[in-house]
Amino acid sequence: MGLIEIVLATMCLNATCDIEPDIEQVIATARISRLAQLAEELKVETLTITTLKNGELSGYKKENATLIGTGLAFEIVHIFQQKFGFTYEIVLPEDNVFLEGTINKGAKNLLEDKKVDVAVAFLPIVNSFRHDVTYSRSFDVAEWSVLMNRPRDSATGSGLLAPFTTEVWIIIIFSVLVIGPIMHLIILARARLCKSDEESVVYPLPDCMWFLYGALLKQGSVLNPVTDSSRILFSTWWLFILIITAFYTANLTAFLTLSKFTLPIKSPSDISAKGYKWVSNKGNGIRDFMYSENHDTMSIENKLVDQIGRGRLYTDLEDMAILDEYVASGQMMFIREKSVIRHVMYGDYKEKTRKGTKESDRCTYVVAKFPIVELPRAFAYKHDFKYKELFDNSIQHLVESGIIQFKLRENLPDAEICPLDLGSTERKLRNSDLSLTYFIVAGGLAFAICVFFIEILWRSASQRYKKARRAKKQNVAVQSWMEKNDNLMKKTQSSEFPTVTPPPSYQALFRPPFFFSDSDSQKKNINGRDYWVIHKNNGFRELIPLRTPSALLFQYSH
């Protein structure tokens, strides 16, 4: 490059030209001026506001016949009021709901009819409502949680069944029922294949089942297998039981000392599956969200109403009143914003502390770990609200500075209030831990009594069966004797006593069996005299003398 080119390049590079204005800066400047203009206009405005009673979040009270807003939502409005200098008046909806009910209209109707400018409440942003109202910038993404009465026992179980799950217990019972017949069949097959082995012993199936049951309870057995195959079977079962009992003992000890408390519900679907009912206040946004799901034209899978069930109740009661009336008795669960639940539980804890309740009885409620639903929350404006941009800008500053999150946690302790696991160091056995033991004793006693009565009935039926067979044999013998002595019976029937048979022949008395006796007849010597002991149909025994003239005079009655 020559000298001339270098000089020209230097002149061009040092030249200054007008720069085109930055478009973003122009837009920002215009926005700032527009917001300043809106702020000036807002100073002389009186905004019409509607609100809902929703615990710590929003509400109202009367002072000198004037409605004054309360709660975090109106703290935000008061910040805006101090900044912009406007005034407001509150117009209440016919019912304490955002979405209209069956009869009364809600806050949403006031916005649609443009009777109010802003709905000051922490309202869930429902997309299907956007064609009716306009939402502000969101404050946060809130969680709706479940507050319930603290169960006395953990959902993991209690007592003797807690160390293993239901599937493990089923497998153990199944193995006991299956291994016994398998063991008996293998021993039987070995004995039949090795008939020459004199030491082979075939244990009956009941003995094999009792061996399995005794080994399960760590008891001994009288069975003494002598063959290698049966010994391997028996030792395998003992090894299996040894491992099972070792794990059971270790897990039972850990459960009674180190186990964590768990709730009977682990997900929203458990509420509907287990038939629980729940309650919430009318100002709660979950009602509006469930309504939007049911009336959405788009098909939605896993609707919230299908998960938490339709057993619900919306009430106008305060949060503490809901706890006392519906939740304390364990009848219903309380679904609420988690931020509100913290304040409710803390208030209940302080109230019980003031009353002098024992420390162990102060945490009567517990919050589930999982959220029911997560929704963004915001104010709602009427369409074409003039100061929407100004309010949204101020809300954004509050959110980014963390003021809203700070206000949600204000007046709450840093520690978790009444956690799920209270962390008690003492763990004494309760009756609930030993309840299965009581049931086993009572069940075993009841089963033994039932078996005892069955044995009595079986013995009674067996005796009646034997007597019936004995009577049948006697009837057959008598009929045979009557056929042989037909002429003698005809004479007897024509006599004065037709129902009395003649005495048997004297020779028949010396040789059993008689036609009227059975094989159980015995001859005994009683007081120096010989008798035949005969079993009668009524169960009694009768003595017939032998070798005496009185034997000729004996008459046998049927």
Which residues make Cβ contacts (< 8 Å) with residue 461, sequence separation at least 6?
none
Token readout for 82 is 């101090």
pLDDT of residue 28: 74
The lowest-confidence range among 51-55, 82-86, 431-435, 499-503 is 499-503
Ramachandran assignment for 343, one of left (phi > 0), alpha (psi -120 to 50 degrees), beta (any other): alpha
Phi, psi angles (nearest 5°) of residue 138: -75, 145
Higher pLDDT: 418 or 299? It is 418
Question: Looking at residue 359, what DSSP letter applies?
Answer: G
Can you tell me the distance from the alpha carbon of 71 to that of 337, in angstroms, rounded to the nearest whole number? 14
* Tokens, residue 471: 């009577």
Confidence of residue 512 (pLDDT cuts 50, 70, 90): low
For residue 378, is pLDDT > 90? Answer: yes
DSSP codes, 405-429 = HHHHHTT--SSPSS-SS---S----
Q: Which amino acid is at 61?
A: K
**Does position 395 have pLDDT exceeding 90, yes or no?**
yes
553 has a pLDDT exceeding 80: no
* Mean pLDDT for the chain overall: 79
Per-residue pLDDT at 191 exceeds 80: no
Say whether the peptide bond before residue 503 is cis (omega within 30 degrees of 0).
no
CB atoms closer than 10 angstroms to residue 524: 11
Q: Is 117 helix (H, G, I), strand (E, B) or coil?
A: coil
Reply yes or no on whether the pLDDT at 451 is more than 60.
Answer: yes
Helices 166-193 and 228-258 pack at an angle, to 10 degrees, of 170
Q: How far is it, in rounded angstroms, from Cα 49 to Cα 118?
A: 5
Which residues, in sequence order, are CB contacts of 392 under 8 Å at separation 6+? 136, 137
Residue 433 scores a pLDDT above 80: no
Domain extent listing, the chain? 163-258, 439-553
**Which of the four pLDDT bands, split at 50, 70 and 90, describes residue 204?**
confident
Contact 84, 39 (CB under 8 A): yes
> What is the rounded distance in angstroms from the CA atom of residue 291 to the CA atom of residue 280?
14
Taking alpha carbons only, the member of 253, 252, 259, 254 closest to residue 423 is 259
Q: Pull the structure tokens for residue 329.
A: 């008795």
How many beta carbons lie within 10 A of that of residue 84, not counting itself? 19
Highest mean pLDDT among 180-189, 195-204, 458-467: 458-467
**pTM for the model:** 0.63
d(CA 500, CA 106): 104
Query: Alpha-carbon dihedral of residues 8, 13, 17, 22, nearest 10 degrees?
Result: 150
Nearest-5° Cα angle at 192, 191 to 198: 50
- 150/364 Cα distance (integer angstroms): 5
Question: Would you state the pLDDT for residue 484?
Answer: 61
| Mean pLDDT for the stretch of residues 407-426 | 78
Mean pLDDT along residues 365-393: 91
The CATH classification number of 163-258 equals 1.10.287.70
In angstroms, rounded to a whole number, what is the distance separating the alpha carbons of residues 95 and 133? 18
H-type helices in 142-285, by residue range? Answer: 166-193, 205-216, 228-258, 268-273
CA distance 533 to 543: 5
Burial class (CB in 10 A: 0-12, 13-18, 19+), 393: middle
Is 10 buried (19+), middle (13-18) or exposed (0-12) by CB count in 10 A?
A: exposed
- pLDDT tens profile 60-107: 998 888 889 999 999 999 999 999 989 999 999 988 888 887 677 889
Q: Give the pLDDT of residue 159.
A: 64
Check pLDDT > 50 for residue 412.
yes
Spatial neighbors of 391 by CB under 8 A, at least 6 apart, are 80, 118, 136, 379, 381
